């Protein structure tokens, strides 16, 4: 790979990772040991409408990205000329642009600035169900059922509900690919985005035209897929030309700085973590944020019903990826706490302490027990199946909903703590269910490597280890998702031969949380059986 145009012999070298999540854009500046020297953040707007509509603005996101890069470089004190590479990750949200890159309205607001259908938007449930009923062979590579969170159901919704927008669209981008195009002018798509969310068959290097014809998007095949991508490159590949003059000026960097093909945000967390121990196939990457994502790498394709994939070279180049997760994880805990009468009091205390409410609750729960493993005893009699936004895996069921069992008339703070711990246990049991389902299909793992803000507390990590029955490993990187994107930038700049070399050099373990035995293990086993039973009851009740 060609080095960045601004690389200087003997000068210190740095890379930047940019992460665009659901609520914010962040940029982190790293040296080539994996140490983060600075980080900057800007909140981004989430527009909600009735009917599960959730939208964003690509114009706002691009401005936030450029601002955070400028701030991260300024705060680090690094000479911008010594930044050799830039990597992006983003949520798997759909960006719709007209000719010349002009934003197009994607919803009833008619606001052209709202040109992004966010990953969590579920307006396309009907379209997804119709696609699944068709049973096309490509669905084998999404666990047998496509999700309304993926892009082809969303585009089909646009065609059927906003035909003018569909017809006027010049390009449909995954958000990470939009950012790399905006930075370089290169229309190449990442194999991560198009394989995981668009049904591209990376192992055969092709789109399946018959799929698009069957579901009602025959235009794409007729156009030779020019609106959704004709050139695919692996994450970390250097995009032609590097930073354009306009992008470099907006970011405060040097034109020609290497820009890597990007990734979905959860997958960047995988890149930033699964290299620990040297064998990515032994590690399950668990990105625990607003939602959660599980990523398992295998040398051969493994088909797991209800788990997305297998995807070839979608995360670690040359390996197959199975992707599960929970549509609401951190968001499920927020939702759960909001129901309780003591939530307002707790939220006020959390604000006083300068913490988010879940982080504050973790500290309170930890103070009530002698060891983190014993926190489960605080939730005695309370059970939560936290599927507020459906079950992403292993059932691929967007209609699933949460269950809270065991609530009484208590209104006090201790009961709020109990509900919080029960919710965390429910997240852990959902993780165990995914791990066990994959293991039965032949994709077993030795440990869970965690990233994401919702999993930052030692108490949370221990509860998850006990609930899922696997060691949970925390990385030395404070921001492993940003590190994952920076790893891509380092490879694009030629600092490492490939992604695997960069992962091995820049990812390090900080701590390991082993599952408890004895009475604690017995408690979790009983609670897990209750979790499974409650899921069954919910499905039965929903059909009545």
The DSSP line for 411-453 is: -SHHHHHHHHHHHHHHHHHHHHHHHHHHHHHT---SEEEEESG
What pLDDT was estimated at residue 8? 54
Residue 290 φ then ψ, to 5°: -55, -50
% residues pLDDT > 90 (the chain)? 87
The whole-number average pLDDT for the span 39-61 is 95
Q: How far is CA 94 from CA 70, 176, 335, in A?
A: 26, 10, 25
Q: How far is CA 543 from CA 51, 306, 399, 529, 536, in A?
A: 21, 20, 11, 22, 11
Confidence of residue 291 (pLDDT cuts 50, 70, 90): confident
DSSP for residue 139: G
The whole-number average pLDDT for the span 481-508 is 95
Is domain 330-434+517-542 annotated with CATH 3.20.20.70? no
Coil, strand or helix at 54: strand
The whole-number average pLDDT for the span 47-54 is 90
Alpha-carbon distance 37 to 490, whole Å?
Answer: 15
Contacts of residues 112-116 at CB distance under 8 Å and 24 or more positions apart, as own/partner, are 113/57, 113/59, 113/60, 114/47, 114/55, 114/56, 114/57, 115/55, 115/57, 115/58, 115/59, 116/55, 116/56, 116/57, 116/58, 116/61, 116/175
What pLDDT was estimated at residue 9? 62
What pLDDT was estimated at residue 363? 96
Confidence of residue 2 (pLDDT cuts 50, 70, 90): very low
Q: Which helix (H) or strand (E) holds 281?
A: none
Alpha-carbon distance 537 to 463, whole Å?
Answer: 25
Alpha-carbon distance 216 to 205, whole Å?
Answer: 22
Q: Do the Cβ atoms of 298 and 322 come closer than 8 Å?
A: yes
> Domain 266-327+443-513, what fold?
Nucleotidyltransferase; domain 5 (3.30.420)
Confidence of residue 7 (pLDDT cuts 50, 70, 90): very low
Coil, strand or helix at 185: coil
- Tracing tokens 């990233």 back to the chain, one arrives at 451
What pLDDT was estimated at residue 379? 98
What pLDDT was estimated at residue 5? 47
The whole-number average pLDDT for the span 502-516 is 94
Coil, strand or helix at 196: helix
Q: Do the Cβ atoms of 198 and 206 come closer than 8 Å?
A: no
Burial 238-271 (b: 16+ CB within 10 A, else e): bbeebbbeebbebbbbbebbbbbbbbbbbbbbbb
| Residue range 302-349, pLDDT digits in tens | 999 889 899 999 999 899 999 999 989 999 999 999 999 999 999 999
Residues of the chain with CATH 3.30.420.40: 14-263, 266-327+443-513
CATH number attached to the domain at 14-263: 3.30.420.40
% residues pLDDT > 70 (the chain)? 98
What pLDDT was estimated at residue 290? 86
| Count of Cβ atoms closer than 10 Å to residue 370 Cβ | 7
Coil, strand or helix at 320: strand
Q: Is 262 a residue whose pLDDT tops 90? A: yes
Alpha-carbon distance 28 to 73, whole Å?
Answer: 9
Residues of the chain with CATH 1.20.58.2240: 330-434+517-542
The whole-number average pLDDT for the span 59-68 is 98
**pLDDT averaged over every residue in the chain:** 94
Q: Is 264 a residue whose pLDDT tops 60? A: yes
Q: Do the Cβ atoms of 184 and 240 come closer than 8 Å?
A: yes
Alpha-carbon distance 330 to 424, whole Å?
Answer: 9
Q: What residues contact residue 110 under an 8 Å CB cut-off, 6+ apart?
A: none
Confidence of residue 544 (pLDDT cuts 50, 70, 90): low
Tokens representing 542 are 């929903």
What pLDDT was estimated at residue 543? 72
Q: How far is CA 240 from CA 31, 237, 248, 257, 489, in A?
A: 24, 9, 15, 11, 14
Four-CA torsion 307, 278, 261, 90, nearest 10 degrees: 50
Comparing 5-9, 48-52, 102-106, 259-263, which segment has the lowest mean pLDDT?
5-9
Q: Is 3 a residue whose pLDDT tops 70? A: no
Alpha-carbon distance 256 to 248, whole Å?
Answer: 8
Tokens representing 155 are 């585009």
| Count of Cβ atoms closer than 10 Å to residue 274 Cβ | 31
Alpha-carbon distance 82 to 225, whole Å?
Answer: 38
Q: How far is CA 223 from CA 51, 74, 171, 229, in A?
A: 32, 45, 12, 11
Q: Do the Cβ atoms of 141 and 201 come closer than 8 Å?
A: yes
Alpha-carbon distance 213 to 163, whole Å?
Answer: 17
| Residue range 491-504, pLDDT digits in tens | 999 999 999 999 99
The whole-number average pLDDT for the span 159-166 is 98
Enumerate the β-bridge partners of residue 29. Answer: 16, 38
The whole-number average pLDDT for the span 164-175 is 98
């Amino acid at each position: 790979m060609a080095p960045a145009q601004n690389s200087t012999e003997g000068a210190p070298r740095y890379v930047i990772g940019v992460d665009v999540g659901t609520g914010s854009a962040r940029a982190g500046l790293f040296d080539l040991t994996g140490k983060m020297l600075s980080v900057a953040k800007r909140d981004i707007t989430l527009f909600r409408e009735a009917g599960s509509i959730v939208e964003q603005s690509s114009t706002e996101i691009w401005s936030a990205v450029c601002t955070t890069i400028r701030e991260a470089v300024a705060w680090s004190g690094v000479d911008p000329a010594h930044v050799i590479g830039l990597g992006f990750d983003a949520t798997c949200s759909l960006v719709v642009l007209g000719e010349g890159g002009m934003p197009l309205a994607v919803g009833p607001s008619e606001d052209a600035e709202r040109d992004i259908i966010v990953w969590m938007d579920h307006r396309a449930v009907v379209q997804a169900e119709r696609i699944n009923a068709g049973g096309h062979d490509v669905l084998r590579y999404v666990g047998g059922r496509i999700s309304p969170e993926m892009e082809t159901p969303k585009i089909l919704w646009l065609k059927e509900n906003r035909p003018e927008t569909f017809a006027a669209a010049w390009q449909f981008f995954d958000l990470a690919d939009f950012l790399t195009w905006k930075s370089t002018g290169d229309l190449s798509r990442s194999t991560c985005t198009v394989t995981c969310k668009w049904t591209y068959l990376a192992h055969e290097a092709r789109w399946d035209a018959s799929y698009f014809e069957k579901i009602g998007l025959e235009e794409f095949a007729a156009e030779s897929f020019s609106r959704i991508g004709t050139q695919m490159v692996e994450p970390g590949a250097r995009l032609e030309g590097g930073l354009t003059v306009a992008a470099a000026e907006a970011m405060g960097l040097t034109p020609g700085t290497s820009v890597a093909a990007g990734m979905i945000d959860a997958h960047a967390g995988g890149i930033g973590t699964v290299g620990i121990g040297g064998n990515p196939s032994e590690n399950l990457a668990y990105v625990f944020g607003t939602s959660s994502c599980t990523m398992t790498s295998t040398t051969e394709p493994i088909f797991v019903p209800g788990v997305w994939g297998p995807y070839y070279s979608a995360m670690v180049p040359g390996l197959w990826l199975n992707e599960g997760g929970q549509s609401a994880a951190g968001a499920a805990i927020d939702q759960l706490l909001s129901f309780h009468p003591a939530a307002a009091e707790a939220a006020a205390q959390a604000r006083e302490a300068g913490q988010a409410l879940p982080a504050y609750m973790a500290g309170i729960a930890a103070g009530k027990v002698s060891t983190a493993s014993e926190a489960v005893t605080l939730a005695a009699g309370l059970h939560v199946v936290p599927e507020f936004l459906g079950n992403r895996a292993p059932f691929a069921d967007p209609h699933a909903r949460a269950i809270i069992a065991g609530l009484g008339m208590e209104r006090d703070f201790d009961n709020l703590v109990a509900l919080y711990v029960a919710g965390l246990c429910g997240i852990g049991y959902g993780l165990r269910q995914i791990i066990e389902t994959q293991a039965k299909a032949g994709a077993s793992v030795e440990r869970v490597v965690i990233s994401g803000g919702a999993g930052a507390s030692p108490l949370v990590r221990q509860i998850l280890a006990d609930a899922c029955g696997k060691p949970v490993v925390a990385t030395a990187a404070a921001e492993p998702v940003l590190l994952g994107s920076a790893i891509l930038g380092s490879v694009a700049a030629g600092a490492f031969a490939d992604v695997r070399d960069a992962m091995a050099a820049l990812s390090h373990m900080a701590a390991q949380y082993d599952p408890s035995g004895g009475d604690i293990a017995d408690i979790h086993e009983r609670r897990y059986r209750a979790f499974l039973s409650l899921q069954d009851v919910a499905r039965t009740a929903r059909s009545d």
